[in-house]
Amino acid sequence: MVVGSVAAIGAGLAAIGAGIGIGQIGKGAVEGIARQPEAANEIRTNMIVAAALVEAVSLFAVVVALLGNG
């Protein structure tokens, strides 16, 4: 049971990292769109791709946490 709790802490830490990363991406995208509304579509596509890349890193950590758990 102790192992399970440590894995959960690891997953939580990974979520913090991804939260900060995706927050920064969202901030950048919104600022970019506010300054240049005509580029909104292009910025949105790049924002989603960057968010998916950041998310993947946190999911690596979740997978490691799961494997450690199992």
Which spans of this chain sit near another protein (rule: CB under 8 A)? 45, 48-49, 52-53, 55-56, 59-60, 62-63, 70
Q: Within a 13 Å sphere around the CA of 41, how many CA atoms are in the beta-carbon half?
A: 1
* 50: number of Cβ within 10 Å: 17
Q: How far is the CB of 63 from another protein (least distance, A)?
A: 5
Cβ proximity to another protein, 37 vs 70, nearer residue: 70
Q: How far is the CB of 4 from another protein (least distance, A)?
A: 9
- Give every CB contact of residue 62 below 8 A, 6+ residues apart in sequence: 11, 14
Q: How far is the CB of 39 from another protein (least distance, A)?
A: 15
**What amino acid is encoded at 57 in this protein?**
V
